């Protein structure tokens, strides 16, 4: 039987400026799922590219005094450079300025026109060039674009219209019959409500600018840039010639996945499926609309200018760390407030302390106790370790298949965490003292297996790291495949060789001890005061910068030489424990804190207090003479987001 196939695409990005970490997120998701499916034996086609037409590009090129194509050539080169640095292994990079794309868009337009679903009329309304979207007066937000807030142009021109309204019921039916078509669930509900409000016919041509694909039968008209852009997904498969890629990855494929940000979910789940329905082409299986990366000023975006350059982060932390951070932190459909501290923290906690450390401890012990050579073991394994590996392998796949990267990675780190805990429990150094060599060999083998399995599961994300682990463990790449993803598959003798740390720890600035002035900096903007209460008001964006999570206190102890401080271990996620130093010693006994569910400021810069790194803060209410920790009103898991 032929291999199963899988098709995944990213949006084709506008080359109106360089890309930022938001675009990098979507593309990393696509690359990771493509690598994962390949590892499982699927034939994969992974497409990305650039959306080069439209008024927006025409305007920026004019501002630079160059032809649009000269401008886009230059920016597209920066896209390709970024993807190569991020190890994005796409199968095709489509540019909408290519001949194959012109021909496909014109043919698709003509097909829908010939069957009577496109008609000529006059468009009168508003147009946001930044979003390349038409709006009616009622859709505007106080005269501005409801999506990006910018000024809109008033447009009145002859236009071709696409009979979207005709297909509204069929589309609703399709969405209802295919629960996985729009993901995640929240996006699906939004889209259903949107369609139920009624769809209007869509203007799909413009006459007031040139930079685009002309309609063959009416060359004064340029095809609407979104009709042009969406068609890229089938151009690249050679829909035009009914080519073998189109047959394999569209017609006979059960998994066609478009990954997009939530900003463009409407185009992908309403306009695109209706174009396909009208042209008699089957619909994709899933459109996944992830949330936004936010930074000062809200959504990170080229036009707001609050962007973070991925190249700088790759240079500083490496591509694997950035890939891991984006996928681990991004909460599926929800937004996430980006901070470089959170990135450094994630690298330290997961990659350096947990994963890297497990490898280096294991390799060091094998070198020390067995001169670097370990014979394979076949029995005497700890049942819970074997069972946990099996559970993690299964749940990892369930999450990956649903594009739940963060949860899949958390699963892997359950196993890694167990490995580190296992070392503490077994205390191999005691086995050495007791002369229990056979048990020691089994324990070492179990640790190697945990690392091997974790490395296979992490390999679609940490693409540079796998080879380093193979080299340190002295295990060939044939044992790092999906077929070998089961505990005990490692056979033969291995010869380990210690190498450089996989992920060197990032040193945080010790904020409180070294930079007391930082706290005192004058605010950058004048603050608004409330007339009634006189307090300084903040914008919602300022509030959204804070991330709070539910934590459970596992351990509390006094801090030597500090009467007011307690050092707490707080569990803030399935596999994340933080050390937090809190000034609550006068108000709580050590025992009464244990198991208390508290609210933790999760994205606070770590600070050193009495030489201890405090990785967060607890919220508390302070009265005249008492202090009470904020807690939650009932059972909820650690790590639940407080908002
Ligand atoms: O919309 N957070 O291109 P575009 C997360 N050309 N993802 C983000 C993001 C953020 N802050 N900012 C951008 C276009 N993205 C069209 C697409 S497809 C047929 C045409 C990502 O350059 C996210 O995937 O504005 C979003 O949908 C996309 O970049 C928008 O890229």
pLDDT at 246 over 60: yes
**Mean pLDDT within 318-341:** 93
Ligand 1 closest atom vs CA 259: 24
Place 382 in a pLDDT band, splitting at 50, 70 and 90. Answer: very high
pLDDT at 527 over 60: no
419 touches 449 (CB < 8 A): no
Ligand 1 closest atom vs CA 268: 19
Q: How many beta carbons lie within 10 A of that of residue 365, not counting itself?
A: 20
pLDDT at 525 over 80: no
- Rounded to whole angstroms, the Cα distance separating 161 from 121 reads 7
Q: How many beta carbons lie within 10 A of that of residue 293, not counting itself?
A: 24
**Which pLDDT value is given to residue 515?**
32
Distance 75 CA to ligand 1 centre (A): 15
Domains, the chain, in order of start with CATH, read 5-313 (3.40.50.620), 339-495 (1.10.730.10), 546-642 (2.40.50.140)
**Most ligand 1 atoms within 8 A of CB, residue of 8, 11, 51 to mutate:** 11
- Rounded to whole angstroms, the Cα distance separating 409 from 22 reads 20
Distance 475 CA to ligand 1 centre (A): 40
Burial code of 21-60, b = ≥16 C-beta within 10 A, e = fewer? bbbbbbbbbbbbbbbbbbbbebebbbbbbbbbbbbbbbbb
Residue with the smallest CA separation from ligand 1 atom 30 is 13
Burial code of 413-436, b = ≥16 C-beta within 10 A, e = fewer? bbbbbbbbebbeebebeebeeeee
Tokens (6 digits) for 112: 């829908």
Rounded percentage of the chain residues whose pLDDT exceeds 70: 94
33-65: pLDDT as tens digits: 999 999 999 999 999 999 999 988 999 999 999
φ, ψ of residue 336 to 5 degrees: the values are -140, 130
Place 518 in a pLDDT band, splitting at 50, 70 and 90. Answer: very low
Residue with the smallest CA separation from ligand 1 atom 8 is 22
Which candidate, 239, 252, 264, 205, places its Cα nearest to that of 108?
Answer: 239
Show the CA angle centred on residue 266, arms to residues 196 and 282, nearest 5°.
90
317-326: pLDDT as tens digits: 999 999 999 9
Ligand 1 closest atom vs CA 230: 19
Using CB distances shorter than 6 Å, the residues near ligand 1 are 11-14, 22-23, 25-26, 51, 229-230, 232, 260-261, 263-264, 292-293, 299-301
Distance 129 CA to ligand 1 centre (A): 15
Distance 58 CA to ligand 1 centre (A): 19
Residue reference for tokens 């990393």: 28
**Which pLDDT value is given to residue 524?**
35
**Mean pLDDT within 579-597:** 91
384-409: pLDDT as tens digits: 999 999 999 999 999 999 999 999 99
**Which pLDDT value is given to residue 486?**
96
Place 605 in a pLDDT band, splitting at 50, 70 and 90. Answer: confident
Q: What is the mean pLDDT of the chain?
A: 92
**Which pLDDT value is given to residue 147?**
84
Which candidate, 78, 67, 60, places its Cα nearest to that of 129?
Answer: 60
Distance 263 CA to ligand 1 centre (A): 7
pTM: 0.81
- Rounded to whole angstroms, the Cα distance separating 468 from 124 reads 61
**Which pLDDT value is given to residue 539?**
65
525 touches 612 (CB < 8 A): no
pLDDT at 364 over 60: yes
Ligand 1 closest atom vs CA 272: 19
480-490: pLDDT as tens digits: 999 999 999 99
DSSP label at 248?
A: I
The residues facing 558 across adjacent strands are 566
* CA distances, 602 to each of 335, 338, 548 (Å): 15, 12, 5
User: Is the bond leading into 20 cis (omega within 30 degrees of zero)?
Assistant: no
- Rounded to whole angstroms, the Cα distance separating 180 from 251 reads 18
Distance 623 CA to ligand 1 centre (A): 47
H-run or E-run covering 579? strand 576-582
- Rounded to whole angstroms, the Cα distance separating 344 from 349 reads 9
- Rounded to whole angstroms, the Cα distance separating 45 from 68 reads 29
Residues 6+ apart with CB under 8 A from 21: 293, 300, 307, 308, 309, 310, 313, 322, 326, 338
**Most ligand 1 atoms within 8 A of CB, residue of 261, 272, 287 to mutate:** 261
Ligand 1 closest atom vs CA 291: 5
**Which pLDDT value is given to residue 611?**
83
- Rounded to whole angstroms, the Cα distance separating 590 from 600 reads 18
Distance 260 CA to ligand 1 centre (A): 7
610 touches 561 (CB < 8 A): yes
Distance 21 CA to ligand 1 centre (A): 10
- Rounded to whole angstroms, the Cα distance separating 592 from 418 reads 28
**Which pLDDT value is given to residue 511?**
27
The residues facing 158 across adjacent strands are 122
Q: Does 218 or 575 have the greater pLDDT score?
A: 218
Distance 19 CA to ligand 1 centre (A): 9
DSSP label at 573?
A: E
Measure CA 311 to chain center.
17
**Which pLDDT value is given to residue 530?**
61
Ligand 1 closest atom vs CA 293: 2
Look at 35-49, 337-351, 557-571 and tell me which has the smallest mean pLDDT.
Answer: 557-571
Distance 24 CA to ligand 1 centre (A): 10
DSSP assignment of 490-508: --S-EE----S-SSPPPPP
The residues facing 261 across adjacent strands are 290
Residue with the smallest CA separation from ligand 1 atom 4 is 13
Distance 12 CA to ligand 1 centre (A): 8
Place 562 in a pLDDT band, splitting at 50, 70 and 90. Answer: confident
**Which pLDDT value is given to residue 531?**
56
**Mean pLDDT within 206-235:** 95
161 touches 118 (CB < 8 A): yes
Which candidate, 577, 584, 580, 583, places its Cα nearest to that of 607?
Answer: 580
- Rounded to whole angstroms, the Cα distance separating 201 from 117 reads 10
Is residue 448 classed as helix, strand or coil in its secondary structure? Answer: helix
**Most ligand 1 atoms within 8 A of CB, residue of 14, 23, 228 to mutate:** 23
φ, ψ of residue 158 to 5 degrees: the values are -65, 140
């Amino acid at each position: 039987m032929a291999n199963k196939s899988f098709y995944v695409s990213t949006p084709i990005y506008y080359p109106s400026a360089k890309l930022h970490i938001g675009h990098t997120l979507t593309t990393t998701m696509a690359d990771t799922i493509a690598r994962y499916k390949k590892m499982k034996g699927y034939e994969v086609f992974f497409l990305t590219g650039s959306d080069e037409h439209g008024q927006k590009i025409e305007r920026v090129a004019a501002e630079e005094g160059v032809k649009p194509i000269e401008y886009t050539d230059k920016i597209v080169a920066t896209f390709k450079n970024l993807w190569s640095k991020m190890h994005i292994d796409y199968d095709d990079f489509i540019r909408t300025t290519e001949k194959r794309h012109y021909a496909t868009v014109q043919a698709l337009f003509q097909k829908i026109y010939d069957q009577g679903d496109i008609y000529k009329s006059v468009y009168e309304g508003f147009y946001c060039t930044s979003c390349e979207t038409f709006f009616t007066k009622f859709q505007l937000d106080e005269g501005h674009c409801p999506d990006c807030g910018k000024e809109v142009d008033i447009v009145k021109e002859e236009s071709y219209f696409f009979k979207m309204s005709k297909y509204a019921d069929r589309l609703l039916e399709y969405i209802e019959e295919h629960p996985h078509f729009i993901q995640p669930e929240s996006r699906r509900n939004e889209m259903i409500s949107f369609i139920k409000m009624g769809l209007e016919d869509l203007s799909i041509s413009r006459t007031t600018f040139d930079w685009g694909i002309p309609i063959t039968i009416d060359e004064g008209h340029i095809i609407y840039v979104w009709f042009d852009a969406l068609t890229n997904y089938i151009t690249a498969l050679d829909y035009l010639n009914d080519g073998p890629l189109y047959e394999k990855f569209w017609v006979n494929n059960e998994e066609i996945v478009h990954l997009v940000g939530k900003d463009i979910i409407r185009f992908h789940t309403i306009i695109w499926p209706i174009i396909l329905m009208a042209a008699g082409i089957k619909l994709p299986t899933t459109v996944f609309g992830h949330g936004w990366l936010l930074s000062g000023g809200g959504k990170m975006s080229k036009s707001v200018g609050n962007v973070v350059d991925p190249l700088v982060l790759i240079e500083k932390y490496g591509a694997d760390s950035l890939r891991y951070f984006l996928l681990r932190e991004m909460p599926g459909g929800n937004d996430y407030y980006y901070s470089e501290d959170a990135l450094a923290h994630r690298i330290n906690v997961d990659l350096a302390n947990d994963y890297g450390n497990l490898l280096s401890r294991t390799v060091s012990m094998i070198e020390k106790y067995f001169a670097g050579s370990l014979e394979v073991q076949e029995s005497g394994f700890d049942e819970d370790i074997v069972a946990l590996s099996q559970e993690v392998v299964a749940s990892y796949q369930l999450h990956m298949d649903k594009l739940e990267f963060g949860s899949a990675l958390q699963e892997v780190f359950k196993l890694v965490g167990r490995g580190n805990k296992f070392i503490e429990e077994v205390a191999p150094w005691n086995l050495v003292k007791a002369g229990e060599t056979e048990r020691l060999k089994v324990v070492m083998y179990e640790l190697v297996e945990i690392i091997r399995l974790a490395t296979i599961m992490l390999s679609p994300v940490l693409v540079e790291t796998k080879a380093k682990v193979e080299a340190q463990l002295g295990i060939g790449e044939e044992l790092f495949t999906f077929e070998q993803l089961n505990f005990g598959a490692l056979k033969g003798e291995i010869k380990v060789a210690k190498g450089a740390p996989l992920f060197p720890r990032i040193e945080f600035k010790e904020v409180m001890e070294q930079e007391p002035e930082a706290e005192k900096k004058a605010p950058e903007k004048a603050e608004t005061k409330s007339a009634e209460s006189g307090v300084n008001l903040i914008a919602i964006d300022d509030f959204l910068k804070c991330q709070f999570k539910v934590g459970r206190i596992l351990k509390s102890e006094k801090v030597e030489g500090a009467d007011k401080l307690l050092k707490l271990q707080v569990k803030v996620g399935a596999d994340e424990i933080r050390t937090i130093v809190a000034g609550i010693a006068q108000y709580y006994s050590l025992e009464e804190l244990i198991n208390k569910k508290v609210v933790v400021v999760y994205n606070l810069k770590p600070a050193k207090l009495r030489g201890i790194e405090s990785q967060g803060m607890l919220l508390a209410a302070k009265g005249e003479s008492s202090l009470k920790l904020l807690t939650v009103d009932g059972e909820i898991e650690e790590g639940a987001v407080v908002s």
